[in-house]
Structure 1
Amino acid sequence: MEQREDLNSILPFLPLILRSSSLFWPSKALESLKALALGPDVSHVDSGEVLFDAILDLRDSIGLSSERLASRTADGYALFFDELMSRVDSRVWFGEVIPGLARLLLRLPSLLETHYRNADEVFGGRKAGLRIMAQQEAGIVFLSQELIAALLACALFCLFATSERSVRYLPLINFDRLFAALHSHAKRSQEQKIKCIVHYFERICLCMPMGSVSFERKVLPLKQSCDGISYPEAAFWRKSTVSLCPFEVFSSGLIEDQQYEALEVDFANEFLGGGALGRGCVQEEIRFMVNPELIVGMLFMASMGCNEAIEIVGAERFSCYAGYGSSFCFVGDYLDKKPCDSMGRRKTRIVAIDAVCSPGIMQYEVDCLVRETNKAFCGFLDASKYQHCSKIFQDADENNNEVSTANCNIFLVCEANAKQAKDPDNSENKGASNLDLIGKTENKSCQVIDSQVDIGIATGNWGCGAFGGDPEIKSMIQWLAASQALRPFIHYYTFGEAALQRLEQVTQWTLVHGWTVGDLWSMVVEYSFQRLRGETNAGFLTWLLPDHSTSNDVQCMSE
C-alpha cells in the first residue's frame, strides 16, 4: 500500500494496522470477524443485544475500548433488531446479512490495497486515493461501491476512531448516535432512517454493486489571482454582463426524482451529512438515508469553509420514502436506473453547499449576499469548463485579438449553444455556435466548448426552513450563481412554499426583458438596503413586480 504517511493520511482513522506496507486486521479482530462470517450457529450473534456485545469485542480488539459511544447505544441496537424488526426480517439479518458484512470486512485490507494501486489511474495520474480532504485543499477521492460498502459496515460496527476527528474538522461517522437516538422524541423518524440503512446492507449483501463514486472538494481561492477564478467581490457581481439562464419552476416533485442532466443541490450543513447520523431528518439527512453511499464522505471530508463546496458523482439510490421531518417514512426498495459514465459512476450529480444558519436581518447585508452567492457559485461552477474557456481566451490574446477585460477573472458563456440545445427549432438559434465573451468587449466569438453544456441545476429552498433564510432572496441568489457558472438552466422545486407563488411570473418577466446577472444582483442589493432601513416589508418578488406596476415602470427600475 503506497499511501504516504502525511497529514492527510486516512490510516490513523481506519480500524486496520499497517505492517511492511500492507494492511491487516489485528489478530483478535480477525478471529471475531471470521466467527461472524460463519453465521449465528458459530458466532451466536442472533439478536441486537448480542450484536452490540460483538461490536464491543471488536472495538476492544482494535484498541477503541477507551473511546466512549453515545449514551444508550446498546439499548438502541437491542430495541431496533429485537423489537422493531419483524422476526422474519431478523432471521434474514442475523442469518445472512451480518455474516455477509463480516465477509466484506475481511476483504477490507485487500480492497484498500487495490484501491491505492488503481485510484490515481482513473483520473490520468491525478491524485484520487482515499485520504483526509482538508479545508482549502481542492481535490477528489474516487471509491468503488464495494469499498464504500465495507467502510459503511465499519460504521455500523462503530469501528472508526473518533478521538482526533474534531481537531481535523471531521464529522463523526460511527452509527452509535443513529441507534442511540431511537430513545429520543424523534423515535419514529429515527426508526425509519435506520430502516433505510438496513435495507441498503440487505441489498449489497444480496448483490454487490460494482460501480464507483467520486467525492470532490471544490474551492474558490480567497486570494485574488489572474491564474484562474477566485472568490468574487460585490463589484464582480454588480458588473457581470452574463445573461440569466433559463429558469423553470416546479410546484410539485422532489429534486432527487428529477430526470434531467442536472447537478442536484444538497442543502448541506458545513459538516457534510449534517444530522444524518444523529436526530436530523430534513433535506440533507433524508438524501443521505436514501443514497447511503453519501455517508462515506463523512469519513474523510473536513467541514466546508465559506469558499468551498463538495460535489459527489455516482451515489446510487436504494430506498423510496414519503414524508419529511417527523413524518419521514421508509416506503420500500428503489431500483436506480440512472446510466453510468465512462468511469462507472451513475449520472447522479449532487453538490453540497451550506448556507448561513439563522442569519436573521443580517442576510440582507452585502457581505452575507456575497457569501451566499459565492457559496452557490463555487458549488455550481464546472472547473473543467472554466479552464477550457480560459485556454481559448489565452490563445486569442496571444494572437493579438482584443479579448481582454479589466477583471483578470475570465468568463465565456455558451449562451447561444445552450439556447439551441433548449430550443433547436428556433430559427434565431439555428447554426449558433459562438461563445460570447463576458464583459463589455467587441462581441468577439470563439469555438464551441463541448463540456457538460447540457448539465443544469436542480434545486429548491436552500438555506430556508430550519436555517431561517429568505426563500425569495435565496432563489435569486441561486439563479445568479447558476447563470454566472454558465449552467444552461435552473430547475427550481418550491416544495409548496407560499412566498414563492409569484416566482414563475417574476423569472419569466425577467428573462423576457433580457436581464443580466449584474442587473438582478443590483436589484437584490437595492431591495436588501430597503429591508435593512425598514423602508419595505414586502417580499422581494412582490417588491420587484408590484401588482400596480406596468412593464414600463419595472423596466425603469433596472435602468
Structure 2
Amino acid sequence: MVLWEEFLPVKWKESESTYEWSNGLRRALGRLSEGPAVSDVRSGDTFANFLLQVANPDTNRDGAADGVAHYFNERVEFAQSSIFFEKTLPGMVQLVLRLPELLLEQIEQSKKLAENFSEELADSREFESAGVSLPLPLQILHPQHPGIIFITQELAASILSCAFLCLFPVSKRDEYRLPGINMDTVFGGIRGRPSQVHKLHCLVNYFNRVCKSMPQGMISYERKYLANYKALEPAFWIDNHKSLCSFETLDQGMIEDVGCEYAQVDFANKFLGGGVLRMGCVQEEIRFTLSPELIVGMLFLPVMTDNETIEITGSERFSNYAGYAGKFHFAGDFVDSTPQDAWGRRYTKIIAMDAKPRPGESQFQENVMLREMCKAYCGFLLTEKADSNVLQSSCERTIYRGIATGNWGCGAFGGNLPIKSMLQWIAASEAGWPTVKYYTFRDQRAERLREAVRCIVEKNYDISQLWGLLLKYGELRLSKKVECDFFTWLLGTTL
C-alpha cells in the first residue's frame, strides 16, 4: 500500500520520528527565505530560474518558469512585484520550511481532538450509529472511507506555498485518482488568457495577506458518503411523505455572499476544485480562487464516487471579483468577518457535490434522477446535526438555517435546470434543512421557477408527490409525448 509520505515534498525520517527536507532543497529554500539580498530573486526572470531548480521534475517546469516570468515582468506593476519579492515570497518560503514542524503539530492536534470527541461520546449510544467521524491525522481520505481532517490556517498556507513552488510529487497522483496540486498549470496558462492572470492576482493577494498577518483559525475537510442505502432505492422517496421545506428564489446576488447562516453549494467536478489550477474559471474555480484554503483539499481528497460528497468548513475568503469565465477579474481585497466556532472554524460551510456530466436525455430516467437526488442528499446531510453535542459541545449550536444553491450541473455539465432544482429541493427537505435559497443567476430557464414553487406550495405537495411528478414527467419526456420543460408541464397539468 502506498504511504502518505509519498505524496509530500518532505521525507519521513523514521529514526527521529520527524519529517525533513532534502539537504539540497533546504539550502536553496533557506537562501530564498532570506530575501533578495541573499537569494538575488527579485524579478520574474530570477524567480523563473529558481523554479527551474526546485520544482518537482515531473511538473511542467519550463511552462511554469515562462509563466511566472511573464506574470511578474509584464502583468504586475513594479511596486507590487517588489513587495512580493522583498516581503511575500520570503514569508512563503519560511512557511514552506516550517512544513515538517506543522505536519507533526497537526498529528498531535488530531489526537487531542479525537480524544475530546471520544470522551464526550463515551456515554452516547449515537456514537456507533450517527455517522460520527473522529478527526484524523493528515492523510489520503480514500473513496468510500468517510473521515474528517482538521488543519490550521498556517498549515494550509504552508501547503499552498509548496504548491506555488511546485514542490509536490506528481507520479502517483493519477493512480490514486487525486487532482493536481502544484500550480505549474496556473502559471503555464496565463499567456493570452486574462482570466488566468486574474486568478493568479487572487492567489498572490492571498499570499500577501497571510505573510503579513497569519490568521489563527482552523479548517475541516470531510469526506461524506451516503451510508443509508435505503435512500438509493426509489421506494424510499416514493413512500416519503415528509413536507417540503421553504424554497426562496433569488434573481440577484451570489451564493458566496449569502452569509454565515447558509451552507454554500459548490457545483463541483468529481475531482475537487475542477480546473482551478488549470484553465477553468466558472463557479467552482472562482469559489476556490476567492478562498484558496479550499484548494488544500485537493492534496488529499481523491475523486468523488456517486454516493459521496466533500464538505469544507472554516475557509476564509480573501478576494473580491467581478465577471465570470473569460471575463473574470480580481476586484481587490476582501476582509472576511464571518464568526468562528469553538474550534476556530469560520461558519462558512462549502458543500462540494458533482452532478452527472453531459447526461443528455438520460437525465430524465429514474435511475439518473435518483443518482442526482442522492448526491445532493449526501451533500446536504449534516453529520454535525447528528452529533451536535460533539462538534458544538462547548460552543453555540450550529447557526446554519438553510442551503444556498443554484443551477447545479446546468452549465458546462448540460443538466436540465427545472429537474435539478426540484431534486435539490427534495434532497434538502429530506435532510432536514428549513429552507433553500436558490440563486438563478438570471438564467432564462429559471423564469418560471418561482411560479412553479408557488404552485407546489399551494397544492401542499410533499416529497413523495413531487418525486412522483418528476418520474411522470420523465416518462413522458423519454417517450416524446412532451417537449416542454418540467415547469411548463407542471403548471399546465395542475391548473
TM-score scaled by length of structure 1: 0.81
Question: For 1:488-509, what per-residue CA distance to the aligned partner results, in whole angstroms no more than 9, with x for missing partners?
Answer: 1100000001121121122122
Alignment check: 8 A CA contact 1:311 1:351 kept:
yes
Of 194, 199, 221, 1:188 maps to: 194
1:209 paired with 2:215, answer: yes
Q: What is the CA–CA distance in structure 1 between the aligned matches of 2:151 and 2:400, rounded to whole Å?
A: 26
Of 402, 409, 417, 1:463 maps to: 409
Greater Cα shift, 105-114 or 379-388: 379-388
1:479 paired with 2:425, answer: yes
Question: For 1:520-558, what per-residue CA distance to the aligned partner results, in whole angstroms no more than 9, with x for missing partners?
Answer: 000011111111011111111111012xx6xxx55xxxx
1:303-314 map, 5 Å: 303-314=303-314
Pairwise CA distance, 1:74: 1.8
Alignment check: 8 A CA contact 2:249 2:449 kept:
yes
Identify if the C-alpha distance between structure 1 residues 109 and 468 changes in structure 2 by more than 3 Å, giving closer, same or farther.
Answer: same
Equivalent in the alignment of 2:80: 89
1:141 paired with 2:130, answer: no
Match of 1:345, SS state, is coil
Pairwise CA distance, 1:331: 0.2
Q: Residue 363 of structure 1 aligns to which amino acid in structure 2? A: Q
Pairwise CA distance, 1:219: 0.5
Pairwise CA distance, 1:230: 5.1
Alignment check: 8 A CA contact 2:260 2:400 kept:
no
Q: Residue 134 of structure 1 aligns to which amino acid in structure 2? A: H
Q: What is the CA–CA distance in structure 1 between the aligned matches of 2:400 and 2:351, rounded to whole Å?
A: 17
Q: What is the CA–CA distance in structure 2 between the aligned matches of 1:366 and 1:386, rounded to whole Å?
A: 29
Match of 1:302, SS state, is coil
Equivalent in the alignment of 2:393: none
Pairwise CA distance, 1:476: 0.3
* Structure 1 segments of 4+ aligned residues over 6 angstroms from their partners: none
Equivalent in the alignment of 2:19: 23
Pairwise CA distance, 1:455: 2.8
Question: For 1:341-380, what per-residue CA distance to the aligned partner results, in whole angstroms no more than 9, with x for missing partners?
Answer: 0100000000000001111101001110010000000000
1:35 paired with 2:26, answer: no
Greater Cα shift, 97-106 or 198-207: 97-106
Query: Where in structure 2 are there 5+ consecutive unaligned residues?
Result: 119-133, 390-395
Q: What is the CA–CA distance in structure 1 between the aligned matches of 2:326 and 2:94, rounded to whole Å?
A: 36
Identify if the C-alpha distance between structure 1 residues 107 and 68 changes in structure 2 by more than 3 Å, giving closer, same or farther.
Answer: closer
Equivalent in the alignment of 1:538: 484
Pairwise CA distance, 1:58: 2.2
Alignment check: 8 A CA contact 1:116 1:129 kept:
yes
Alignment check: 8 A CA contact 2:145 2:223 kept:
yes
Equivalent in the alignment of 2:89: 98
Question: For 1:102-155, what per-residue CA distance to the aligned partner results, in whole angstroms no more than 9, with x for missing partners?
Answer: 111121111111111112322425242110011111001111000000000000
Of 33, 44, 51, 2:47 maps to: 51
Question: For 1:229-265, what per-residue CA distance to the aligned partner results, in whole angstroms no more than 9, with x for missing partners?
Answer: 6542112111111100000011110000002511100
1:178 paired with 2:124, answer: no
Q: What is the CA–CA distance in structure 1 between the aligned matches of 2:232 and 2:255, rounded to whole Å?
A: 28
Match of 1:167, SS state, is coil
Q: What is the CA–CA distance in structure 1 between the aligned matches of 2:230 and 2:330, rounded to whole Å?
A: 42
1:115 paired with 2:61, answer: no
Identify if the C-alpha distance between structure 1 residues 470 and 77 changes in structure 2 by more than 3 Å, giving closer, same or farther.
Answer: same
Q: What is the CA–CA distance in structure 1 between the aligned matches of 2:184 and 2:440, rounded to whole Å?
A: 34
Larger Rg: 1
Identify if the C-alpha distance between structure 1 residues 45 and 138 changes in structure 2 by more than 3 Å, giving closer, same or farther.
Answer: same
Equivalent in the alignment of 2:131: none
Equivalent in the alignment of 1:416: none
Q: What is the CA–CA distance in structure 2 between the aligned matches of 1:540 and 1:70, rounded to whole Å?
A: 50
TM-score scaled by length of structure 2: 0.92
Q: How many residues align?
A: 470
Question: For 1:241-297, what per-residue CA distance to the aligned partner results, in whole angstroms no more than 9, with x for missing partners?
Answer: 110000001111000000251110000000000000000000000000001000000
Alignment check: 8 A CA contact 1:192 1:329 kept:
yes
Identify if the C-alpha distance between structure 1 residues 384 and 214 changes in structure 2 by more than 3 Å, giving closer, same or farther.
Answer: closer
Equivalent in the alignment of 2:360: 360
Q: What is the CA–CA distance in structure 1 between the aligned matches of 2:137 and 2:377, rounded to whole Å?
A: 26
Alignment check: 8 A CA contact 2:59 2:170 kept:
no
Q: Residue 159 of structure 1 aligns to which amino acid in structure 2? A: L
Q: What is the CA–CA distance in structure 2 between the aligned matches of 1:230 and 1:451, rounded to whole Å?
A: 29
Q: What is the CA–CA distance in structure 1 between the aligned matches of 2:44 and 2:366, rounded to whole Å?
A: 53
1:220 paired with 2:216, answer: no
Work out the percentage of aligned pairs sharing the same amino acid. Answer: 43
Q: What is the CA–CA distance in structure 1 between the aligned matches of 2:339 and 2:30, rounded to whole Å?
A: 37
Query: Where in structure 1 are there 5+ consecutive unaligned residues?
Result: 1-5, 222-227, 390-449, 555-559
Q: Residue 333 of structure 1 aligns to which amino acid in structure 2? A: D
